[in-house]
Structure 1
Amino acid sequence: MSAAAENAPGEAKVIPIESAPSWSEPDRPAGLADQIADAVGGALAGRLGPAATRLFGKGWEGRAAEGLAFLRRRITGDYEVDEFGFDRELTEEVLLSLLRPLAEKYFRIEVRGIENIPAEGGALIVANHSGTIPLDALMTQVAIHDHHPGGRFLRMLAADLVFVLPGVNELARKAGHTLACNEDAQALLERGELVGVWPEGFKGIGKPFSDRYKLQRFGRGGFVASALRAQVPIIPCSIVGAEETYPMIGNFRTLARLLGLPYVPITPTFPWLGPLGAVPLPTKWTIQFGEPIATDRHPAEAADDPMLVFDLADEVRETIQHTLYELLVQRRSVFF
């Protein structure tokens, strides 16, 4: 029995992360997906063809064929996910495509130091966290994929809250993100994945605007222990521009406790402008990846040395903080 036949219709195959071989599905009678694709394709090839050319421009046929093929795979379950739930095709074709205009046109992100991210193999990206809503993490994911020569995917370590929110949980898993715990981080790093962590957590994105670009505590340095055990480099990442997207000037603490949230922000536009207050300010961003900090000069057992872990975590934190100050001095304007 083939790999496809073992899965129920509409369910994706779970492929171990260390081996995801391509496979082909045996011929079978046309199903619902084929009928839908044939119907749409026939309509576009018929009377709607000239109208589609005027609307979408030349070459729309190829794009339409790719879209129909994508739809067919979604319906039949003919796509792959790894053991963490990462759906590479959905992430690349849909999720990143939706985020890309925000990164390129709205925040106009300038990416520096992308050459410091290895072409292959595991590495840990450690970045500052800010902006009330964690857009900085999503924009870092887009920046790495679009600017790295290898188009690498960033596997982010996310807070527990992400995985209890309906809808957000499923999307996070599909995008390759997992719970921020040492076990998952080490497993991904040992398999050669690029992993991203924001050690400040809610203390970083939920800090008042008066504390902008002042790094909060990095916790116990669990990310350093994971990198030491996996023997992969740590790459400091400094993000400027996210702090001003939602300047947090207050906090509805009582409402936050009632909702079980870490904070409910008050900004110059929210809640005063209603839904419009949720639109981020169009700030100009810079994301800079620093030189890798090697961990393989220490044995894997060094992860159990609290002093060494603390020293490395402090080195990463100081590197990010110093780079933030340098970028702020170079910045001409918050918006340009």
Structure 2
Amino acid sequence: MPAFPNKYRSYIKKVQQSDDHFGFDVRALARLEPILKFLHDDWWRVKSEGFERLPEDGPALIIGNASGIIPWVALMLIYELMSDRKKCRRVNIVTNMDAIENESIHRALAELGFVSWSSDNIKRLLSKGELLAIFPEYPEAAGKSWSMKNRVSEFDWTKILPAIEANAKLFPLATLGCDEAPVTLFNAESLSKALKLSAFPVSPFFPWLPFPLNLASLPISWTMHLLPVIEYQPGKKRQDIEECAERQALYAEGEIQAELNRQLRLRHRLL
């Protein structure tokens, strides 16, 4: 904790210029930093590519794939951007915070930079030049089984619609490894419905082992590749804007899947 201000001086300067309306607290991130660093550098050995494409400032939206009910990809993205000495940025993770009924978990995520999805929230942040990230696969994707690993589920285009309306820059983010690290055997749909959860993934560790052992995952290396910005013209009519959002969601989904396939082919050649 005492070393955090010296190590992340540039990041803290960025934070001081950002919007903390939604409860972000850099002290919470400082407390979690040793765990994030261990997971990023040692456990999953995350390799990043393409992050130099991000503008140093100004509004932008990262659109990525993810897996599981714990937002590991989002947390790795937060750490990746805060530890980039050349181009560090604070990222707001836009997600369905309203589904989190536990107040302690809700507050903890908000302090780390998670923001509840709404058109108003997204437009507010983009209007202030903030960087956002969203993982718009439908909720069922949280319970991907092992047989569905590395397959991108359908993107919900309505989640990126506010960014299209704001004419923000869109960057697809392809993350390989996030589907393979948590060993999900199957999704217990009946339990997820009874508990009002988006998914209830059952693994060799969860729910059998006590916390935090039940969150265990395999030490599989990850690759996070930020792809080139998506070029688009939203139009002026409402129908044109919505159709544009549908096209860009489908395009981002396809580009991410293509990059995952490319990375898998490269991995197989190396093996």
User: What does 1:199-210 correspond to in 2, within 5 Å?
Assistant: 199-210=136-147
Q: CA deviation at 1:249?
A: 1.6
Q: Which residue of 2 aligns with 1:107?
A: 44
Shift in alpha-carbon separation, 1:290–1:148, aligned structure 2, 3 A: farther
Find the aligned partners of 1:303 and 1:224 in 2 and give their Cα distance. Answer: 15
* 1:231 aligned partner, one-letter code: N
* 2:33 aligned partner, one-letter code: L
Find the aligned partners of 2:165 and 2:242 in 1 and give their Cα distance. Answer: 13
* 1:195 aligned partner, one-letter code: L
Shift in alpha-carbon separation, 1:162–1:258, aligned structure 2, 3 A: closer
Shift in alpha-carbon separation, 1:301–1:171, aligned structure 2, 3 A: farther
Over the residues paired in the alignment, what is the CA RMSD in angstroms? 2.9
* 2:176 aligned partner, one-letter code: V
* 2:74 aligned partner, one-letter code: A
* 2:169 aligned partner, one-letter code: P
Match for 1:218 among 141, 151, 155? 155
Match for 2:171 among 220, 235, 238? 235
Q: CA deviation at 1:257?
A: 3.0
Equivalent residue of 1:316, what SS?
Answer: helix
Match for 1:322 among 254, 258, 261? 258
Match for 2:195 among 259, 265, 282? 259
Would the aligned equivalents of 2:235 and 2:241 in 1 still touch at CA under 8 Å? Answer: no
Find the aligned partners of 1:135 and 1:162 in 2 and give their Cα distance. Answer: 18
* 1:82 aligned partner, one-letter code: D
Q: Which residue of 2 aligns with 1:75?
A: none
Q: Which residue of 2 aligns with 1:288?
A: 225
Would the aligned equivalents of 1:132 and 1:248 in 2 still touch at CA under 8 Å? Answer: no
Match for 1:86 among 9, 19, 24? 24
Shift in alpha-carbon separation, 1:101–1:300, aligned structure 2, 3 A: farther
Would the aligned equivalents of 1:126 and 1:196 in 2 still touch at CA under 8 Å? Answer: yes
Q: Which residue of 2 aligns with 1:73?
A: none
Sequence identity (%): 26
Bigger Rg, which one: 1
User: What does 1:75-224 correspond to in 2, within 5 Å?
Assistant: 82-87=20-25, 89-147=26-84, 149-160=86-97, 163-219=100-156, 221-224=157-160
Find the aligned partners of 1:287 and 1:127 in 2 and give their Cα distance. Answer: 10
- Structure with more relative contact order (C-alpha pairs < 8 Å, separation 6 or more): 2
Shift in alpha-carbon separation, 1:84–1:238, aligned structure 2, 3 A: same
Find the aligned partners of 1:83 and 1:303 in 2 and give their Cα distance. Answer: 32
Q: TM-score, normalised by structure 2?
A: 0.84
Q: CA deviation at 1:108?
A: 0.6
Q: CA deviation at 1:233?
A: 0.8
Would the aligned equivalents of 2:47 and 2:222 in 1 still touch at CA under 8 Å? Answer: yes
* 2:124 aligned partner, one-letter code: A
Find the aligned partners of 2:242 and 2:265 in 1 and give their Cα distance. Answer: 35
Shift in alpha-carbon separation, 1:239–1:303, aligned structure 2, 3 A: farther
Q: CA deviation at 1:141?
A: 1.4
Match for 2:246 among 278, 290, 310? 310
Q: Which residue of 1 aligns with 2:13?
A: none
- Asked if 1:247 corresponds to 2:183, the answer is yes
Unaligned stretches of 5+ residues in structure 1: 1-61, 68-79
* 2:42 aligned partner, one-letter code: K
Q: CA deviation at 1:320?
A: 0.9
**Comparing 113-122 with 265-274, which one deviates more in the overlay?**
265-274
Would the aligned equivalents of 2:140 and 2:199 in 1 still touch at CA under 8 Å? Answer: no
* 1:176 aligned partner, one-letter code: G
Shift in alpha-carbon separation, 1:312–1:145, aligned structure 2, 3 A: same
* 2:258 aligned partner, one-letter code: H
* 1:232 aligned partner, one-letter code: A
* 1:172 aligned partner, one-letter code: L
Shift in alpha-carbon separation, 1:311–1:134, aligned structure 2, 3 A: same
Q: CA deviation at 1:272?
A: 4.8
